[in-house]
Structure 1
């Protein structure tokens, strides 16, 4: 419950008709009788333009500098939101921050399951994280926060807001290069999560793939790492391994999910959680759609279409390579790769050709990504539906281009969730 009459960490004039809310939003369309509205500055318009709309929808209160009914009136709504978030975060017994070039959402989901923690939804902007901390910081349960960045300085801002007790980097690879500049820039910026704010201690952990970039930092995964799972086996049915003598089985999972489970069990052990109980919860983890979600049937569709970077696509192709049957890769454009994007797409395409029996590409770099190249998503979809047969395994992966129009998404070969839906519908 979000109570505007609690001891706020900033000066506010609280309207007498304001009342507690179940949660907060900065999108006035989500405001309602249980959802309060925070009026934040936007790229085009200030949230103040939508305060009346939120009030009309029944918002319990609005955080704003306007003098309106049910206002929690402050000089700066954004600064107040962040101050409130820091205060509520301080009430949490444990906060885990997760970043990386790939695998953030998977790691977050597994860590939250092992710790029986509250965790961030997919949308992980600064305002979203602030609202999450305010809503759940005082729940008494650990919190797990996904901390993605796409510009220099952003991780420092996130760390200052979240103050993670544990900082995790899952992997390092070329992603958001247009803003971060280079692999070295990515290593430097993401590495901020491993250091505390003003000397505060942080438990730092990095995945096996990222360990070479952070010498001396504890690592997790399989092989020569600090915290290792043992006897990993990956089949079409899933992944299994042992950790500290405890058997772990993850249905329909691959190595990436198994590594996330090792991270989760490492943190659970350090938090005093019984590992057999944590392992049971891990077996039931379901990651959000588009993140290596396996749809078995007369042909199998691996929906990994939520987003893509070179390191993430290679990991998905490694998983595809372990499946029986005819393996088909369906790849689209990876965004924000800077001036070397053609070379990076070509490298991924070469990897796909060595890991799949048939390779399909779509959009601007279709020929680099696959032997069967298509200009648009509708053309690709039609060709796939004509080609696929019983026993096939199809991996679908590309960046989203979430702010693009549907027409541009189809033309550029991003947002291949529409391909996944068509395949599943055709399968019956």
Structure 2
């Protein structure tokens, strides 16, 4: 329980404040067992939602306002981070994972291998702080995804999380509008490697000479062996332990190697770890294979050039007519047209039919459409039994639905329509 009377910072605690099980910075999640911390935001301050949290029954509110059940502080943000640092010090092992692609997948497999606790997908600093506060006292390891999109952000995250193990999965063009170049990306992400233990994926190894690596291929410090990928499974062995991952690609297999190496280093039985890896379910939108009359590969959560190329390589291993449906990749700066064209060449090399949508539709596919509804109508009429359809693009999560459809981002609507039609619901109504 999170007791407001034992917080590690100076506060004036209202007599009606009571312990909570969870803490959130999102007032919509506040409730009878979830307290609320009112943080400053880009457009609004969390204080504007304090009454909503109180009405929802929040056990206490971290705020500078004089309200019922308040834990009054001068600066709620600094109080939150101080609390998080205090609780993090109680954890026996914290693994921090970053990379231009594959972070969430690596987190899922490391969590399974170590039988750890991992934070949800949403990985802002306040979300990470709430996670550390809630779980810092558990005896199980913690796994934290640490994404960045600006210079200096990783240093801030490392100061908060203090990972015992730092991992970089990949280094490639992503968030170039803020980070500028791949070299800057490597430098900034590399800050995570300054803890007690550092590991990098095989793709990232060239950027960090002398740092231990994991994955497959020559020169890898901790390799998986005898990798074999089919549409049904990815199988390999690690230190003599056989591993079989259903509906997985090379990206998942490399994440599994990472998990097994960390399990080995921390005294976890490898056979038990491998058994847990076989049942990992990655979140929707991260290379989730949905078999049926035709197969849909939902990789629509987000996209960067290296992630799209990896997904296309996996698509090439399937039997049947292979269809790529690609949309815009965001935050690529001045090189965005060139990078979209490069991905389009990969698509044409690995897929039998290529669709593109949005601003760079013609670069991404032979069948180019200006908007998502236009592409969707053509695709639903074209797809047939035995096909394999890969769907991937950036999200544009803060954009309006109309702009998402126009720019060709957030292609989860295409995944939903394909599955609905395949499974008997028919195509969605025209929009």
What TM-score results when the alignment is normalised by the length of structure 1?
0.98
CA distance, structure 2, for counterparts of residue 44 and residue 239 of structure 1? 46
1:192 to 2:187 alignment:
no
The equivalent of 1:244 in structure 2 is 239
SS at match of 1:42: coil
1:295 to 2:294 alignment:
no
SS at match of 1:220: strand
Q: Deviations over 1:21-48 (max 9, x none)?
A: 1111111121111110100001111111
The equivalent of 1:199 in structure 2 is none
Q: Deviations over 1:93-138 (max 9, x none)?
A: 1000000000000000000000010001000000000000000000
SS at match of 1:5: helix
**Superposed CA RMSD:** 0.6
Structure 1: runs of 5+ lacking an equivalent = 197-201
Poorly superposed stretches of 4+, deviation over 4 Å: none
Shift of 1:150: 0.3
Shift of 1:52: 1.4
The equivalent of 1:5 in structure 2 is 5
1:325 to 2:309 alignment:
no
The equivalent of 1:395 in structure 2 is 390
Shift of 1:292: 0.3
The equivalent of 2:426 in structure 1 is none
SS at match of 2:325: strand
The equivalent of 2:307 in structure 1 is 312
1:206 to 2:200 alignment:
yes
Which of residues 223, 229, 248 is equivalent to 1:228? 223
The 10-residue stretch of structure 1 (328-337 or 23-32) with the greater mean CA deviation from structure 2: 23-32
CA distance, structure 1, for counterparts of residue 108 and residue 134 of structure 2? 19
SS at match of 1:52: helix
Q: Deviations over 1:204-250 (max 9, x none)?
A: 00000000111110000011200000000000111000000000000
1:218 to 2:217 alignment:
no
CA distance, structure 2, for counterparts of residue 10 and residue 22 of structure 1? 19
SS at match of 2:224: strand
CA distance, structure 2, for counterparts of residue 365 and residue 311 of structure 1? 17
CA distance, structure 1, for counterparts of residue 158 and residue 402 of structure 2? 37
SS at match of 2:5: coil
The equivalent of 1:24 in structure 2 is 23
1:267 to 2:266 alignment:
no
Aligned pairs for 1:86-97 (under 5 A) are 86-97=85-96
The equivalent of 1:416 in structure 2 is 411
CA distance, structure 1, for counterparts of residue 138 and residue 250 of structure 2? 33
1:34 to 2:33 alignment:
yes
Aligned pairs for 1:20-419 (under 5 A) are 20-196=19-195, 202-224=196-218, 225-419=220-414
Structure 2: runs of 5+ lacking an equivalent = 424-431
